[in-house]
Amino acid sequence: MIKLFRHTLLTLLCITMSSLYAQEYSVEPPLTFRPTLQRLGTELLKGKKGSIVAIEPATGEVLCLVTNSSEGANDALAIATAYPPGSTIKPAQALVFLSEGIVNSDTKFVCNEGFRDGNIKVKCHPHGSPISLQNALAVSCNTWFLKSYLSMLGNTQKYGSKENAITTWWQYMVSMGLGGPLGIDMAEEKGGLVANVNYLARRYKNNWEPKTVMWVGMGQGDITATPLQLCNLAVTIANRGYFFTPHIRMNVDWSPLPSRFLTPRWTKVLPSVYVDVIRGMRLAVTRGTATILNNASYQVCGKTGTAENSGKDHSIFIGFAPMNNPKIAISVYIEHGGFGADMAAPIAGLIMEKYLLGKLSVKSQARAKRIERLNIIDK
């Protein structure tokens, strides 16, 4: 009993001394970054402009935040640069449509290699047709998401007007951490754009129709997001409906985090609909656009994205692993990197493997070396 008392007293004394020392000398709490991931990310981004963001879903701790440009590292690329999300926004769209009953897991749309409506033509990858939700996520069918988005905005029986429909959609998206700063403990964070009624009235002089903004359904047009927000979107899906405000400082006894970093933020999405979206993201890895990440050691769920812009397309990926009890969520955004599966997905896979297994396999080491040698900055 005396020995136990002494041990407890010594522990309390150490904690007190540490706290007093920290206060006296203004010691900053340790950062949440994992050095091994930071080093690997830095190597992988050589010769590229873009960012890697990884978050622990259960806590909101930022495990990795690495950026690169022709001028060197620039955190603004990850936390303050609003990019088109491309197809990585499709899981969020699916969650809205399912929650609102616009579609269900069996809803199918015909897609003959693209969407056509009058003079409007949008290309799509060759795949089977008609196609349902999970398969649409797996192969990233533009037609499925454009038609679903138009179905929601045009449903006057349910919403009364397109303005009410877009407001409802906006509320869901904002609840998932999109459309504004998340509140990370880093300076000068900015948020992306999720178009609401006021924005559309200004932009289109009150003369917009669902077809005017339908590109949002596939992640183009009047919607943008930062890589941090895209990673956080993956977190909300990994957690099946909530996230913690991302942070880069650890919560320690002598310097506790403010409560806003420790309080879960719930999305507006119905918890029951996450299962279909997660299965679709898993299918993307097992037989869809992200098969390069199909790892036998753990189950990855993901979504590739290819953002159109002037010049070569941007390569994007969001995802998490393992599928159940996820330990890491990630986003990778590589400017002018091509298709999402070309560069962003392989980079994400290497970061996840390093974190979950502690090392890279021989095959992955070779892949990492090939990626390191690629130089696409300013091309």
pLDDT above 90 coverage of the chain, percent: 83
What pairing do the DSSP bridges indicate for beta strands 265-266 and 242-243?
Answer: antiparallel
Give the span between the Cα atoms of 302 and 211, in whole angstroms: 28
DSSP letters of 20-32?
Answer: HHHHHHTPPPPB-
Per residue in 51-103, pLDDT (tens digit) is 999 999 999 999 999 999 999 999 999 999 999 999 999 999 999 999 999 99
Q: What is the pLDDT of residues 209-246, one digit of tens each?
A: 999 999 999 999 999 999 999 999 999 999 999 999 99
- The more confidently predicted of residues 267 and 17 is 267
What residues pair up with 252 in beta bridges, in sequence order? 255
377 pLDDT higher than 70: yes
Does residue 308 register a pLDDT over 80? yes
Which residues, at least 6 apart from 234, have a Cβ–Cβ distance to it below 8 Å?
A: 55, 318, 319, 320, 329, 330, 331
SS3 13: helix
Tell me the average pLDDT across 25-30: 74
pLDDT in the model for residue 26: 54
Q: Where are the alpha helices (DSSP H) in 55-121?
A: 76-79, 90-99
| Distance in Å from the first CA to the final CA of the chain | 70
Q: Which residue has the higher pLDDT, 9 or 251?
A: 251
376, 48 contact by CB (below 8 A) = yes
Q: What is the pLDDT of residue 378?
A: 62
Instruction: Check residues 4 and 304 and name the one with the higher pLDDT.
Output: 304
pTM of the model: 0.92
Which of the four pLDDT bands, split at 50, 70 and 90, describes residue 4? very low
**What's the CA gap between 95 and 61, in Å, rounded?**
24
Residues 6 or more apart from 245 whose CB is under 8 A from it?
60, 182, 183, 184, 260, 261, 263, 265
For residue 4, give the H/E element and its range.
helix 2-25
Mean pLDDT over 172-194 rounds to 97
DSSP tally for the chain: helices H, then strands E: 14, 9
The rounded distance, in Å, linking the Cα atoms of 194 and 173 is: 7
